């Protein structure tokens, strides 16, 4: 964490100086806003948190509840999400309070006595070392709390506006704020009264029954599996030995349980198989009582017993797999003729079973994706055409999730005798680990993702996939750090220069590249950085040398990697790194020893891999989606 560059800070360093709309933020929801986000679930809150880093953009997030969520339904936090939390500055704190999954036990009927269950396979949760971050279980409400803290500490001092229910919207196409949104007060002195807020853009993160989705004519497509599950968060006394380990439990006659321990050391969740549902059921299965769910759980767990002492929450749901045809308000026939004004994210555009632990995780990546793009367009950094990439990128990802969840939930519902091999469920869990962990997302080439023609220069950083961090040594203080952990959700692009073999201070391809980046008229830094702004205000440029940190002096590196910032023009010494001899990033990530440039988007996805001498390609890439800032008036 860096601070003091604007003067000595004696208080909480996470509180950023107020700026822009944060200097005099009104408590009352304004009549006009740049972005109105509907829904304070994971998708909405991360979008708001990202937009809170753009203090010149007026963003407000509303919810019909009177206050913060207290009991969240979602609880699975995949490693990709923890990577994301690192960008928002709270990964370590949430890891400390969460339950950590390190392995999973698969229970099945005892071949010698099928009425009893016995433990089978117990694979590690991340057998392939996909991420340095763990797989966690923690209440969704706590995730939202951390995003809320990030927002209120941001330059824009953002906080949710509770007590407003979305009633409808109309894209009028008129004026600067072309979306008219009708809201109803759900709390306070104006309970029941309607009001209209006008917005430039609206993000509907308002859940599976989304009113925003209905208002723009998006339709959910998919099917119902006609299989029901009871889910309960409980405190109980039991003789089941793996009560604090994630388990998939199959019984001979009583169905299945997905068992997930929760944070705090005592609470746990069970998804209890209630069996097939008649298509003519008309929702009767949803009236299954908690007592019936507990009885079913005891039947499946035999010979073990479950004595439930307290029920924190329970519900019954039927498995369904649906995804909308688009994630914005532009019909297919109009794509390319106009830019979107309304977007949907999270459960508003994809629903599935809870057993793959994907709902909250995929939803947050939706919000992260649209958040920075809206920030760039509204702050004048990018053209409106950038916004069309949201639906193009995320709709495909949602469909991939639906396809995976269908396979996983079908396997979970199968009876033991239907498996050709008793280990089939465990094998599937291990074989597909990268997908549910959140690391199979790969965006195709677009204005934001370059063609992977130079992929061979850094095979471990696939273009379109998330930047997979690796250890390096920070030269200035000799600390061993993870390179990607310094990618903050501050809206900046990351440009990583991996040096050729020459030592710092010697003539080299890297030295030439750094000189071009710092001073050439067509350099992205020169072209797109606003006049008067810090050199690294838009591009966070870092260098990684092949030599160990003891082999050179930091003052020998080009000035590009020692930028000055703030009113005192202090030198930033945290952009120069060296390969760790014991865990060489060049070897770990297949980086060519001739060096290369890796460009990473604000949402942590690799956008391009280029040779050090491909300056024209680098400049052309950024010209696709970044505008040349308007000249500042004299004296501004």
Report the domain count for the chain: 3
CB 469 within 8 A of CB 461: no
Q: Tell me the per-residue pLDDT of 295-340, one tens digit each, with 9 for 90 and over.
A: 999 999 999 999 999 999 999 887 667 889 899 999 988 888 899 9
CB 135 within 8 A of CB 83: no
CATH of the domain at 598: 3.40.30.20
| SS3 of residue 353 by DSSP | coil
Sheet with 76-77, side-by-side order of all strands: 76-77, 135-137, 99-101
- Angle (nearest 5°) at CA 279 between 276 and 281: 85
The pair of structure tokens assigned to 230 is 């009871």
CA 76 to chain CA centroid, Å, is 13
Strand locations in 87-139, DSSP E?
99-101, 104-110, 113-119, 135-137
Q: Tell me the per-residue pLDDT of 413-467, one tens digit each, with 9 for 90 and over.
A: 667 777 777 777 767 766 666 666 667 789 999 999 999 999 999 999 999 999 9
Please tell me whether residues 567 and 615 are part of one structural domain: yes
Classify residue 607: in a domain, yes or no.
Answer: yes
CB 425 within 8 A of CB 412: yes
Please tell me whether residues 510 and 531 are part of one structural domain: yes
Among the candidates 363, 393, 415, a domain finishes at 415
Please tell me whether residues 268 and 354 are part of one structural domain: no
Please tell me whether residues 252 and 302 are part of one structural domain: yes
Cβ neighbour number for residue 164 with a 10 Å cutoff: 25
Cβ neighbour number for residue 129 with a 10 Å cutoff: 7
Classify residue 421: in a domain, yes or no.
Answer: no
CA 435 to chain CA centroid, Å, is 14
Q: Tell me the per-residue pLDDT of 52-98, one tens digit each, with 9 for 90 and over.
A: 999 999 999 999 999 888 876 778 898 899 999 999 999 999 999 99
Q: Is the pLDDT of residue 636 over 60?
A: no
Cβ neighbour number for residue 609 with a 10 Å cutoff: 26
Please tell me whether residues 189 and 264 are part of one structural domain: no
The pLDDT of residue 438 is 67
Please tell me whether residues 278 and 302 are part of one structural domain: yes
| SS3 of residue 311 by DSSP | strand
Classify residue 473: in a domain, yes or no.
Answer: yes
Classify residue 432: in a domain, yes or no.
Answer: no
- Residue of 138, 150, 68, 57 whose CA lies nearest to 98: 138
Please tell me whether residues 288 and 228 are part of one structural domain: yes
CA within 13 Å, CB half, 424: 16
Q: Is the pLDDT of residue 357 over 70?
A: no
Classify residue 296: in a domain, yes or no.
Answer: yes
Please give the Cα distance from 84 to 47 (Å, whole number).
12
**Which residue do the tokens 């680098």 mark?**
618
Please tell me whether residues 375 and 271 are part of one structural domain: no
Q: Which are the contacts of 141, defined by CB distance < 8 A and separation ≥ 6?
A: 68, 69, 70, 71, 72
Please give the Cα distance from 286 to 284 (Å, whole number).
5
State the DSSP code for 30. Answer: P
CATH of the domain at 179: 3.50.50.60
Q: What proportion of the chain, given as a percentage, has pLDDT over 70? A: 93
Question: Could you tell me the pTM of the whole model?
Answer: 0.93
The pLDDT of residue 436 is 63
CATH of the domain at 271: 3.30.9.10
Please tell me whether residues 104 and 152 are part of one structural domain: no
Please tell me whether residues 214 and 230 are part of one structural domain: no
Classify residue 313: in a domain, yes or no.
Answer: yes
Please tell me whether residues 519 and 529 are part of one structural domain: yes
CB 526 within 8 A of CB 519: yes
Please tell me whether residues 481 and 500 are part of one structural domain: yes
Residue 526's domain comprises 455-624
Among the candidates 415, 439, 470, a domain finishes at 415
Classify residue 237: in a domain, yes or no.
Answer: yes
- Angle (nearest 5°) at CA 422 between 418 and 428: 95
Mean pLDDT in residue range 209-226:
85
Among the candidates 367, 399, 415, a domain finishes at 415
Q: Do strands 479-482 and 113-119 pair parallel, antiparallel, or not at all (unpaired)?
A: unpaired
Classify residue 4: in a domain, yes or no.
Answer: no
Mean pLDDT in residue range 262-274:
92
């Amino acid at each position: 964490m860096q601070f003091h560059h604007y003067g000595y800070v004696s208080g909480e360093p996470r509180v950023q100086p107020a700026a822009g709309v944060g200097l005099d933020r009104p408590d009352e929801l304004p009549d006009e806003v740049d972005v109105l986000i509907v829904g304070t679930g994971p998708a909405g809150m991360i979008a708001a948190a990202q937009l809170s880093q753009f203090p010149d953009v007026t963003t407000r997030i509303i919810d019909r509840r009177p206050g913060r969520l207290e009991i969240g339904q979602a609880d699975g936090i995949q490693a990709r999400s923890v990577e994301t939390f690192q960008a928002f500055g709270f990964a370590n704190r949430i890891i400390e309070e969460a339950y950590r999954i390190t392995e999973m036990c698969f229970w099945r009927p005892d071949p010698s006595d099928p009425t009893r269950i016995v433990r089978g396979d117990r694979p590690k949760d991340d057998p392939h070392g996909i991420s340095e971050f763990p797989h966690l279980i923690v209440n969704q409400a706590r995730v939202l709390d951390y995003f809320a803290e990030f927002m209120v500490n941001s330059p824009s001092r953002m906080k949710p506006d509770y007590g407003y229910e979305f009633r409808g919207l109309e894209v009028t196409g008129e004026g600067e704020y072309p979306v008219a949104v009708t809201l109803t007060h759900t709390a306070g002195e104006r309970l029941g009264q309607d009001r209209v807020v006008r917005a430039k853009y609206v993000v509907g993160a308002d859940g599976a029954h989304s009113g925003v989705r209905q208002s723009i004519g998006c339709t959910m497509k998919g099917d119902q599996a006609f299989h029901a599950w009871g889910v309960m968060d409980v405190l109980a006394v039991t003789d089941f030995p793996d009560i604090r380990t994630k388990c998939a439990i199959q019984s001979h006659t009583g169905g299945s349980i997905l068992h997930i321990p929760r944070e705090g050391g005592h609470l746990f969740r069970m998804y209890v198989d209630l069996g097939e549902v008649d298509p003519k059921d008309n929702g009767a299965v949803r009236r299954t009582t908690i007592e019936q769910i507990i009885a079913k759980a005891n039947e499946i767990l035999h010979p073990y017993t479950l004595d439930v002492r307290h029920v924190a929450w329970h519900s019954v749901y039927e498995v369904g797999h649906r995804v909308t045809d688009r994630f914005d308000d532009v019909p297919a026939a109009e794509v390319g003729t106009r830019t979107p004004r309304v977007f949907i994210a999270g459960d508003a555009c994809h629903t599935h079973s809870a057993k793959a632990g994907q709902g909250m995780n995929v939803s947050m990546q939706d919000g992260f994706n649209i958040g920075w793009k809206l920030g760039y367009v509204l702050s004048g950094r990018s053209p409106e055409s950038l916004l069309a990439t949201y639906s193009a990128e995320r709709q495909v990802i949602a469909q991939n999730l639906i396809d995976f969840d269908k396979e996983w939930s079908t396997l979970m519902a199968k009876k033991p005798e239907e498996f050709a091999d008793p280990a089939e469920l465990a094998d599937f869990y291990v074989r597909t680990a990268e997908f549910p962990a959140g690391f199979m997302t790969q965006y195709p080439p677009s204005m934001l993702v370059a063609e992977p023609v130079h992929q061979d220069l850094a095979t471990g950083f696939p273009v379109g996939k998330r930047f997979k961090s690796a250890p390096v040594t920070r030269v200035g203080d000799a600390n061993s750090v993870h390179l990607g952990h310094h990618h903050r959700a501050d809206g900046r692009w990351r440009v990583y220069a991996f040096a050729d073999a020459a030592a710092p201070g010697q003539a080299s391809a890297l030295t030439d590249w750094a000189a071009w980046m710092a001073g050439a008229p067509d350099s992205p830094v020169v072209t797109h950085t606003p006049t008067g702004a810090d050199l690294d205000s838009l591009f966070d440029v870092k260098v990684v040398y092949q030599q160990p940190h003891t082999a050179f002096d930091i003052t020998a590196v080009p000035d590009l990697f020692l930028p000055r910032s703030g009113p005192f023009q202090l030198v930033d010494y945290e952009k120069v790194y060296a390969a760790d001899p014991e865990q060489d990033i060049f070897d770990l990530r297949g980086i060519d020893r001739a060096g290369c440039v890796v460009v990473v988007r604000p949402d942590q996805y690799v956008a391009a891999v280029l040779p050090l001498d491909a300056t024209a390609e680098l400049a052309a890439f950024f010209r696709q989606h970044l505008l040349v800032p308007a000249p500042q008036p004299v004296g501004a």
